Amino acid sequence: MVLTGVVAAPDEPIIDVPTLARALSAPEPPALLDVRWRLTGPPGRADYAAGHLPGAVFIDLDADLCGEPGPGGRHPLPEPARLQEALRAAGLRAGSDVVVYDGGDGLGAARAWWTLRWAGHHAVRVLDGGYRAWLEAGQPVTTVVPAPPRGDLTVRPGGLPVLDATGAARLAGGDGVLIDVRAPARYRGESEPVDPVAGHIPGAVNLPISEQVEADGRLRAADALRSRFARVGVDDGVRVGAYCGSGVTAAQAVLALHRAGRPDAALYVGSWSDWITEPARPVATDPRG
């Protein structure tokens, strides 16, 4: 389904520290997931053990929220039954409010937000500024690891649109706008620090994630995001999707698109790490697309 009109998002996907602090003191507080993560490792479990929001449960982005690396890319879709088990073990219940947070760069939290939305659980928001903002606001932290009752959330894939390589090629080829959110040098094929092939999907436009977030990693305001997306052709009625190296940073771009009023934005989950697994797929290095 294509939604026309770039308007204010019907459900704000971001929650700030004061609002979360008030919500946590309510009779039915939201469930908290700590998704601190680094691309080059190690997992954020040690950070969680050193201190986390009271009541938060750690969830591993690589092991719990993504599938095994392979032909589908470095962070492919998770197997639904395995994801469901991880979320139930974290205490998530059907219909419950969920807040996800990371260290502050927004990447792990955005992929967790996207995965929960894709799995059919829509009551999920990202803590603006993550753990860093919580600390800076003087809010309490703990080293106590909670033991929540087992949840009953059912994973129902399809809650958000997904692109495969064919769909990404169609968008980039004129069916819409495919945004490459990697750094310009990677887009132009001048450097590639992670994947074995440099370049981009022909026809994709480059809007680095650095233009979608503030210097501290928080998403820009909705109006600022709309103007940036419009600059690369995301106009009324135009289909839009995003990709990056492996589908984590691009999830943050999809979060930004939701904030800008585009809940129809699609994620190419496998992203560049999937695209290059097939040698016959074309690779571009021309900065004009």
Say whether 66 is catalytic: no
- What's the pLDDT at 6? 30
Q: At what angle do helices 249-259 and 222-231 cross, to 10 degrees?
A: 110
Phi-psi region of 99 (alpha: psi -120 to 50; beta: other; left: phi over 0): beta
Is residue 65 in some structural domain? yes
Report pLDDT digits (tens) over 238-280: 999 999 999 999 999 999 999 999 999 999 999 999 999 999 9
Among residues 62, 86, 106, 105, the alpha carbon closest in space to that of 246 is found at 62
- pLDDT band, very low/low/confident/very high, at 71 (cuts 50, 70, 90): confident
Q: Which residues of 217-236 are buried (b: 16+ CB within 10 A; e: fewer)?
A: bbbbebebbbebbeebebee
The domain of 67 spans 14-136
Same domain, 219 and 113: no
Same domain, 30 and 132: yes
**Structural domains in the chain (count):** 2
Same domain, 259 and 166: yes
Find the CATH number of the domain harbouring 105.
Answer: 3.40.250.10
Active-site choice (244, 248, 265, 269)? 244
- DSSP letter at 174 equals I
By 3-state DSSP, what share of the chain in percent is helix, strand and coil, each rounded to 5? 30, 15, 55
Same domain, 38 and 127: yes
Same domain, 211 and 115: no
Same domain, 111 and 184: no
- pLDDT band, very low/low/confident/very high, at 5 (cuts 50, 70, 90): very low
Same domain, 186 and 259: yes
- Looking at residue 98, its amino acid is V
Is residue 174 in some structural domain? yes
Same domain, 262 and 181: yes
Is residue 261 in some structural domain? yes
Same domain, 172 and 234: yes
Is residue 9 in some structural domain? no
Same domain, 126 and 18: yes
Query: Model pTM greater than 0.85?
Result: yes
Report pLDDT digits (tens) over 22-41: 999 999 999 999 999 988 77
Is residue 105 in some structural domain? yes
